[in-house]
Amino acid sequence: MGECLERINNCLEFLNLCKPKESPNNNNKQERSDSSYKLLNMSKYYTLLLPTRPKVNDEIRIKAKLNERPKEFILNLCVDSAIDDEDEPAMIAFHFKTKFKHHMDGNSSVVLTCKRGPNGWDDFEEIENTWIDDDVDEIDVAIKFTKREIHFMSGGSSEYQFAHQYEIHRIDRLQIGGDLEYIEEVALRYKN
C-alpha cells in the first residue's frame, strides 16, 4: 500500500495557533496567547492525542521554531494516556531531550530514556548532540517506528535509535516541549 499522508484535522487549529500572532500594540513584535489553544495544556508541553496509534514504518514529522538561545527541546511519546499526580505523563515510551550549550552546564547533548510509571524513569543515556547546531533555530525532524526501535531522524537520516520499551501500538500521545517560539507543523505518515 502506498504512503498515506494524513494531516490531523483536529490539529489544524493547533498548527495555526502555535504560530506567533502579531500584536497591533507592539510594532510587529510577535506574541501568542496560550488561552486560545484548543489542546490539552499539560504543564510545559503541547500535547497531541494521536488519532490512530502508530505501527511499524509509520512516522511523525515535526517542524518548529526554537526561541533565541534555547536551553532545551523535548519530545515525549506517551503510553495509554496515563497521567501522574503532577499532570505529567506517567508512562513514556520515548523521551528525547536536547540540551543546548545555553543550558546550565554549557554542553550540548541528547538524553534518551523512558518512564515506567510515576517517578519511574529508566536509566538514561546522555550522548553528544549531532542532529542540530546550537545556533540553528528551525527544527524539521521525524520519528520513525521500526520493529525493534524508535528512530529520531533529521535531514532524512537516522540520528538516534531507542529500543522499544513498550509496544508501539500503546503510544497514544505526542508531547512537544522546551524553548519553542512556535510549532509550524505536525504530520502523521501512516504506511500501513
Q: Is 55 part of any domain?
A: yes
Which residues on adjacent β-strands are paired with residue 95? 76, 113
Total count of domains within the chain: 1
**Is residue 163 classed as helix, strand or coil in its secondary structure?**
strand
Q: Which range marks the domain in which residue 167 is found?
A: 4-20+37-190
Residue 142 vs residues 34, 63, 152, 155, 171: alpha-carbon distances, Å? 25, 9, 6, 9, 16
Residue 93, domain member (yes or no): yes
147 located within any domain: yes
Cα dihedral 30, 36, 39, 41 sign? positive
Give the C-alpha separation, 39 to 14, whole Å. Answer: 7
Rounded to 5 degrees, φ, ψ at 77 are: -105, 110
Instruction: Confirm whether 32 is domain-assigned.
Output: no
Give me the pLDDT at residue 86, please. 57
Please state the rounded mean pLDDT for residues 121-129: 91
- Locus of grid cell 513584535: 29
Instruction: Write out pLDDT tens, residues 127-172.
Output: 999 999 888 899 999 999 999 999 999 988 889 999 999 999 999 9
Residue 77 placed within a domain: yes
Give the model's pLDDT for residue 185.
94
State the average pLDDT over residues 84-88.
60
User: For 5-14, 23-32, 87-96, 99-108, which range has the lowest pLDDT when averaged over its residues?
Assistant: 23-32
> Do the domain assignments include residue 126?
yes
Alpha carbons 7 and 185: distance in angstroms, whole number = 9
Q: What pTM did the predictor assign?
A: 0.76
Q: Is residue 128 part of a domain?
A: yes
- Cα separation, 48 vs 8, whole angstroms: 10
Residue 75 sits in a domain whose CATH number is 2.60.120.200
pLDDT at 84: 58
Contact 153, 143 (CB under 8 A): yes
Please check whether residue 181 lies inside any domain of the structure: yes
